[in-house]
């Protein structure tokens, strides 16, 4: 469960940093939020990986939810366009990430203990 909290924090800080980047164009003080947000995001992502989440799954979720949240919030905060086609694209990205996550869970559950033992012997 810890890895999911860390990943959520990584996504939230990355989205905050991205939104602050737009604000920093007019108010340079926001560059402090950009730097600290991206630094925190990468630190939390490293913690997510260290906690045992696979890189492909973690990065996919981080990227997809980051894109979805940033696009949605920038439409609300900065009045940027968010068309139906963009919404469909975001939904497809999220569906793809969910598919990868489901596939990784299935692969982990069907992997036999013998295979895991052999992998450890090779390493």
Instruction: List pLDDT tens digits, range 62-95.
Output: 998 999 999 999 999 999 999 999 999 989 988 8
Report pTM. 0.80
- Average pLDDT, rounded, for the chain: 89
Please give, one letter per residue, the 3-state secondary structure of the chain.
Answer: CHHHHHHHHHHHHHHHHHHHHHHHCCCHHHHHHHHHHHHHHHHHHHHHHHCCCCHHHHHHHHHHHHHHHHHHHHHHHCCCCCCHHHHHHHHHHHHHHHHHHHHHHHHHHHCCHHHHHHHHHHC
pLDDT of residue 122 exceeding 60: no
Instruction: List pLDDT tens digits, range 2-58.
Output: 999 999 999 999 999 999 999 999 999 999 999 999 999 999 999 999 999 999 889
pLDDT of residue 118 exceeding 80: no
> Which pLDDT value is given to residue 20?
98
**How would residue 112 be classed by pLDDT, with cut points 50, 70 and 90?**
low
Measured from the Cβ of residue 58, the count of other Cβ atoms closer than 10 Å reads 21
> Which pLDDT value is given to residue 115?
53
Q: In sequence order, which residues have a C-beta less than 8 Å from that of residue 33 and are 6 or more positions away?
A: 16, 17, 20, 23, 24
Cα 9 from Cα 110, distance rounded (Å):
30
Domain limits, the chain:
2-122
* Residue 17 structure tokens: 């940093």
The single residue listed with the structure tokens 């469960």 is 1
Cα 92 from Cα 67, distance rounded (Å):
12
* Residue 19 structure tokens: 């939104």
CB 15 within 8 A of CB 66: yes
């Amino acid at each position: 469960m810890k890895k999911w909290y860390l990943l959520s924090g990584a996504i939230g800080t990355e989205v905050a940093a991205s939104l602050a980047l737009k604000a920093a164009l007019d108010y340079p003080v926001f560059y402090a939020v950009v730097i600290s947000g991206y630094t925190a995001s990468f630190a939390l992502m490293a913690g997510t990986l260290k906690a045992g989440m696979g890189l492909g799954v973690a990065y996919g979720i981080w990227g997809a939810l980051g894109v979805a949240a940033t696009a949605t919030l920038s439409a609300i905060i900065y009045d940027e366009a968010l068309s139906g086609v963009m919404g469909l694209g975001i939904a497809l990205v999220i569906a793809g990430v969910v598919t990868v996550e489901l596939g990784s869970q299935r692969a982990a559950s069907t992997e036999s203990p013998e295979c895991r033992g052999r992998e450890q012997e090779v390493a």
